[in-house]
């Protein structure tokens, strides 16, 4: 029999905080290490890794690494590229994937179930397997620009955006969410004279806050943090290069550790800002959909 006394409860509280603090530290250590190291010259940085000094701003502290990193790579350009590609892709993705999910869940058309199965089946295809065929395709696609028709999409923003707009996971998230919305709301809107698109815009989307947050967060993190292989293949010019490919600038003959840490710290700032803005939506969406980025 457990006796619940005041001391017991107090002890439990202390234990809980201790555990939470420990977990927070485990997650914070790499970040602290990154930021602290970005302030140290390479030699000291490497020496400090063998002791707790690695986490302390001690010794020869300066912003020299940042200055050098800016000299080495057009960081501002890379970040703008990544942010631009992320914003455009994510907005188009949630718009188009939610429309697709709407058609899959609410509208009746022949072949619907088969089509949905095929879309969801693409979840299991790793990107690496389609990278080469996709490269061949985009290298020959036409585009109507200011100077008429151009051929080939290499070294552009669109080659980094278009292939990523539609993905099965985002469609799936919306499909699951739409299935759980009360059907009568959709039927009431239709009976009230709404067209399919009006049902989508005025009833379904305004009620889709949680799934929108989830989709935006997952997709944004993917587009900003994980775009490496594809842009490495299709973007050769600096003007369109995203941040992750920019990492390569710091892995030349000798790895410039301090500058690398400075670069990583800088490119983390937008993620941090994004997180702070969407913090509440972030927590709510994980709580409601059980999906973690």
Partner 1 sequence: MATVRLSDVRKSFGSVETIKGVDIEIGDGEFVVFVGPSGCGKSTLLRMIAGLEDITSGTVEIDGQVVNDIEPKDRGIAMVFQTYAIFPHMTVRENVAFGLTIKGAPKEEKERRVAEAARILQMEHLLDRRPSELSGGQRQRVAIGRAIVRDPKVFLFDEPLSNLDAALRMDMRMEIGKLHQSLKASMIYVTHDQVEAMTLADRIVVLKDGKVMQAGPPMDLYHEPANLFVAGFLGAPSMNFIPVNVDGVDGDHVTISSPSVDRMTVRGRGREFTVGQTATLGVRPQYIRAAAGTDGMLHGHVELTERLGSETVVDVALPTGGKIIAALPEDRILAHGSEASFEFDPSQAHLFPEVER
Query: Would you tell me which residues interact with partner 1 (CB under 8 A)?
Result: 108, 182, 184-185, 187-195, 198, 202-203, 206-207
How far is Cα 167 from Cα 42, in angstroms, rounded to an integer? 41
- CB of residue 159 to partner 1, shortest distance in Å: 38
Instruction: Report d(CA 220, CA 97) in Å as an integer.
Output: 14
Give the residue with the Cβ less far from partner 1, 142 or 209: 209
Residue 256 CB coordination number (10 Å): 18
Residue 172 CB, nearest approach to partner 1 (Å): 24
Q: How far is the CB of 248 from partner 1 (least distance, A)?
A: 47
Cα separations in angstroms, 144 against 57, 126, 141, 148, 176: 53, 31, 10, 6, 37
Beta bridge partners, 144, equal 149
Nearer to partner 1 (CB atom), residue 161 or residue 212: 212
CB contact at 8 A, 108 and 187: no
Closer CB to partner 1, 198 or 268, in the complex:
198
- The closest of 214, 216, 209 to 291, measured between CA atoms, is 214
Question: Strand, helix or coil at 239?
Answer: helix
Provide, rounded to whole angstroms, the least separation between the CB of residue 105 and partner 1.
15
Our CB check for partner 1 shows the closer of 61 and 107 to be: 107
CA distances from 292 to 24, 38, 120, 179, 215 (A): 17, 29, 19, 21, 11
Shortest distance, CB of residue 107 to partner 1, whole angstroms?
A: 12
Closest to partner 1 by CB, 30 or 206: 206
Kindly tell me which of 11 and 188 has the beta carbon lying closer to partner 1.
Answer: 188
Measure Cα distances from 161 to 98, 132, 134, 263 in Å.
Answer: 17, 17, 13, 24
Q: Closest separation between CB of residue 189 and partner 1, Å?
A: 7
């Amino acid at each position: 029999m457990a006796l619940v006394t005041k001391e017991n409860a107090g002890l439990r509280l202390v234990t809980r905080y201790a555990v939470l603090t420990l977990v927070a530290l485990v997650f914070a250590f790499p970040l602290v290490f990154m930021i602290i190291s970005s302030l140290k010259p390479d030699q000291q940085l490497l020496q400090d890794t063998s002791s707790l000094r690695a986490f302390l701003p001690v010794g020869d502290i300066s912003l020299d690494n940042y200055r050098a990193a800016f000299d080495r790579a057009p960081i501002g350009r890379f970040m703008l590229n990544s942010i631009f590609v992320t914003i455009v892709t994510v907005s188009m993705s949630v718009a188009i994937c939610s429309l697709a999910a709407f058609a899959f869940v609410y509208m009746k058309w022949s072949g619907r179930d088969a089509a949905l199965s095929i879309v969801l089946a693409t979840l299991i295809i790793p990107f690496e397997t389609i990278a080469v065929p996709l490269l061949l395709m985009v290298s020959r696609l036409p585009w109507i620009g200011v100077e008429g028709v151009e051929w080939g999409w290499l070294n552009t923003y669109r080659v980094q955006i278009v292939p990523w707009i539609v993905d099965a996971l985002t469609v799936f998230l919306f499909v699951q969410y739409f299935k759980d919305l009360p059907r009568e709301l959709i039927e009431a809107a239709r009976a009230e004279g709404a067209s399919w698109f009006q049902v989508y815009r005025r009833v379904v989307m305004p009620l889709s806050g949680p799934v929108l947050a989830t989709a935006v967060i997952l997709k944004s993190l993917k587009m900003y943090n994980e775009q490496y292989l594809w842009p490495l293949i299709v973007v050769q010019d600096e003007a369109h290069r995203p941040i992750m490919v920019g990492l390569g600038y710091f892995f030349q003959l000798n790895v410039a550790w301090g500058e690398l840490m400075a670069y990583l710290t800088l490119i983390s700032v937008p993620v941090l800002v994004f997180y702070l803005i969407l913090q509440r939506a972030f927590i709510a969406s994980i709580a409601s959909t059980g999906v973690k980025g």
